[in-house]
């Protein structure tokens, strides 16, 4: 039962959380609609496009991918939203569902209400929340799953026989999503559970085991059943992979995500440091672990264990980059929020309001800064807009693409990669209002620039001489080209472009 003091503090906490969520929703919407697309988003849109039967898509595309098909099913179910920019808005619904789940957990466990409120502020402030939330990929779902799973596990650990059907439903749904969205999210979430299960086993705590075990057993069984079918595809798809091997790559991913989480909200970071000292003092005084310290330690051990195992796998088969590890950001954010909640509990209600307002102000500035930064990230619209300006200035301009520039990506498994790049070029051209010449055409304009367009140059790098040489070998009478690089793409022109910028 909530104390009278906790009830009095609920109103300002709720107001702060509501403002932060509204700000996050607005920032997600603006960034999603403003930011340009990149290759992996085109891949998502291509394999979930309307017009294909669900069974056909499942058999030929989704099960042939490196991850469980749940995310692609969700994207196919929401394909009616339209183009990539509008399809990204599904992430706002994901955020709303996650916030609802967090509200159910916090309502049933008053001791976690402060941590839940701080968790919202911390996630809203994090650059990676907007980064992942403005992409048509599964990373935002992984981030939300990591945060909500940590919060729900803490609730179960603190009161295993309480919580009711609402908590059971939130926990089961969160575990299902965490285990069936992305292979790294699955593995990390599984190891996040291990310290809780192991401690309950050592204590022979049947109540906690009954509360924790059924959901991961059911979700894990489904994951293993899908894996039994997909494993040959995963093995083949990653035999030649683009992620760099070695511990430095894995270490960079973990460090990058950790730093983005730690620096997301300075008032909460400072509060977490102060709260951690209070928790340690409480443990020394009481000669027992306070409930917040115990869940922080168990979650922290799960984070370290998950990182250690994933780093070991990475040494055998490279799998880690910061995007794939975004689930860790959600779990780490919970640890910081739970530690800071101890400070809130130690101060008066008026001081708590001031601390929450300080964190909310920081969140507001962070949302504006992060949205502006992410909206201008490299995308296919950079080169596309350069071409569109050139065509607008000289309508007889010709535009050519060539599968040769994307041969490395198109050769990768799954086989859909062979179709995505050409499809993506035409989607951008249609959006920006210019025409791409047919693949077999050697049409050249005598009065306007002739442009040769390539995007997603991430592995191979071509200079102007190599480009001109390939064009001549392909049948274009081009002596030299002027090369304009924009992000990870380029436009080569047979004559200088006066307004290229």
- What's the pLDDT at 136? 97
Residue-wise pLDDT for 247-281, tens only, equals 888 899 999 999 999 999 999 999 999 999 999 99
- What's the pLDDT at 111? 93
Range picked from 367-371, 443-447, 459-463 for highest mean pLDDT = 367-371
What integer is the mean pLDDT of 328-348?
96
Residues in contact with 408: Cβ distance below 8 Å, sequence separation at least 6, in sequence order:
459, 460
Residue-wise pLDDT for 181-222, tens only, equals 999 999 999 999 999 999 999 999 999 999 999 999 999 999
Residues in contact with 179: Cβ distance below 8 Å, sequence separation at least 6, in sequence order:
185, 186, 189, 190, 216, 219, 220, 222, 223
pLDDT band at 8 (very low <50, low <70, confident <90, very high): low
Find tokens 């701080």 and name the residue: 118
| Mean pLDDT over each residue of the chain, to the nearest integer | 94
The answer to whether 105 touches 165, Cβ cutoff 8 Å, is no
Residue-wise pLDDT for 99-129, tens only, equals 999 999 999 999 999 999 999 999 999 999 9
Distance between CA atoms of residues 308 and 315, nearest Å: 11
Going by C-alpha positions, the residue among 68, 72, 74 that lies closest to residue 231 is: 68
What integer is the mean pLDDT of 452-466?
92
Whether the per-residue pLDDT at 5 is higher than 70: the answer is: no
- What's the pLDDT at 500? 58
Distance between CA atoms of residues 255 and 193, nearest Å: 22
DSSP letter for each residue of 164-202: HHHHHHHHHHHHHHHHSS-HHHHHHHHHHHHHHHHHHHH
- What's the pLDDT at 468? 97
Residues in contact with 301: Cβ distance below 8 Å, sequence separation at least 6, in sequence order:
195
pLDDT band at 241 (very low <50, low <70, confident <90, very high): low
Distance between CA atoms of residues 438 and 430, nearest Å: 14
Pinpoint the alpha helices (H) of 204-288.
206-212, 214-237, 247-262, 266-286
SS3 490: strand
State the burial class of residue 36 (Cβ atoms within 10 Å of its Cβ: 0-12, 13-18, 19+): buried
Residue-wise pLDDT for 296-329, tens only, equals 999 999 999 999 999 998 988 888 888 999 999 9
Report yes or no on whether pTM surpasses 0.75: yes
Whether the per-residue pLDDT at 494 is higher than 70: the answer is: yes
Residue-wise pLDDT for 384-432, tens only, equals 999 999 999 999 999 999 999 999 899 888 889 999 999 999 999 999 9
Going by C-alpha positions, the residue among 449, 453, 448 that lies closest to residue 436 is: 453
**Tokens standing for 277?**
């000292």
Find tokens 């992000």 and name the residue: 487
Residue-wise pLDDT for 29-78, tens only, equals 999 999 999 999 999 999 999 988 999 999 999 998 888 999 999 999 99
- What's the pLDDT at 10? 82
What integer is the mean pLDDT of 467-472?
97
- What's the pLDDT at 46? 97
Tell me the percentage of the chain whose pLDDT exceeds 90: 84
- What's the pLDDT at 272? 97
What integer is the mean pLDDT of 456-470?
92
- What's the pLDDT at 460? 85
- What's the pLDDT at 319? 83
Question: What is the radius of gyration, based on Cα positions, of the chain?
Answer: 25
Strand partners, 484: 491
pLDDT band at 1 (very low <50, low <70, confident <90, very high): very low
Residue-wise pLDDT for 125-165, tens only, equals 999 999 999 999 999 999 999 999 999 999 999 999 988 89
């Amino acid at each position: 039962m909530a104390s009278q003091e906790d009830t009095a503090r609920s109103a300002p906490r709720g107001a702060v959380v509501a403002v932060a969520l509204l700000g996050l929703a607005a920032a997600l919407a603006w960034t999603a609609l403003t930011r340009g697309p990149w290759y992996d988003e085109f891949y998502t849109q291509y394999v979930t496009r309307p017009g294909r039967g669900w069974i056909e898509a499942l058999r030929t595309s989704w099960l042939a991918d490196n991850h469980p098909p749940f995310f692609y099913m969700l994207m196919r179910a929401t394909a009616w939203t339209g183009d990539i920019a509008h399809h990204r808005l599904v992430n706002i619904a994901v955020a709303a569902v996650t916030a609802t789940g967090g509200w159910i957990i916090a309502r049933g466990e008053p001791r976690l209400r402060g941590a839940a409120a701080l968790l919202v502020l911390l996630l809203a402030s994090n650059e990676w929340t907007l980064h992942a939330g403005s992409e048509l990929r599964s990373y935002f779902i992984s981030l939300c799953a990591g945060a909500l799973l940590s919060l729900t596990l803490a609730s179960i650990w603190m009161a295993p026989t309480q919580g009711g059907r609402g908590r059971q439903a939130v926990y089961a749904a969160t575990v299902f999503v965490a285990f069936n969205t992305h292979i790294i999210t699955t593995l990390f979430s599984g190891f996040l559970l291990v310290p809780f299960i192991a401690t309950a086993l050592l204590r022979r705590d049947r109540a906690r085991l009954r509360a924790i075990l059924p959901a991961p057993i059911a979700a894990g069984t489904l994951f293993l059943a899908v894996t039994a079918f997909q494993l040959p595809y995963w093995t083949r798809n990653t035999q030649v992979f683009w992620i760099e091997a070695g511990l430095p790559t894995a270490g960079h991913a973990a460090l990058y995500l950790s730093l983005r989480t730690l620096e997301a909200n300075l008032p909460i970071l400072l509060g977490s440091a102060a709260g951690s000292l209070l928790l340690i003092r409480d443990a020394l005084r009481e000669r027992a672990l306070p409930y917040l310290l115990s869940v922080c330690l168990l979650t922290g051990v799960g984070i370290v264990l998950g990182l250690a195992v994933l780093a070991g796998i990475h040494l055998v088969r490279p799998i880690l980059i910061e995007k794939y590890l975004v689930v860790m950001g959600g779990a780490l954010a919970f640890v910081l929020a739970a530690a800071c909640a101890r400070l809130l509990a130690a101060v008066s209600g008026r001081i708590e309001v001031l601390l929450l307002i300080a964190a909310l102000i920081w969140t507001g500035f962070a949302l504006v800064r992060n949205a502006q930064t992410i909206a201008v990230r490299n995308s296919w619209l950079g080169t596309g807009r350069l071409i569109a300006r050139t065509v607008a200035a000289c309508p007889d301009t010709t535009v050519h693409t060539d599968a040769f520039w994307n041969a490395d990506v198109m050769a990768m498994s799954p086989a859909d990669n062979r179709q995505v790049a050409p499809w993506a070029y035409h989607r951008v051209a249609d959006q920006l209002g210019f025409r791409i010449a047919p693949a077999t055409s050697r049409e050249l304009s005598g009065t306007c620039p002739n442009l040769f367009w390539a995007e997603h140059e991430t592995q191979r790098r071509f200079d102007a001489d190599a480009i001109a040489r390939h064009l001549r070998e392909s049948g274009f009478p081009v002596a030299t080209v002027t090369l304009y690089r924009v992000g990870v793409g380029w436009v080569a022109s047979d004559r200088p472009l006066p307004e290229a910028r």
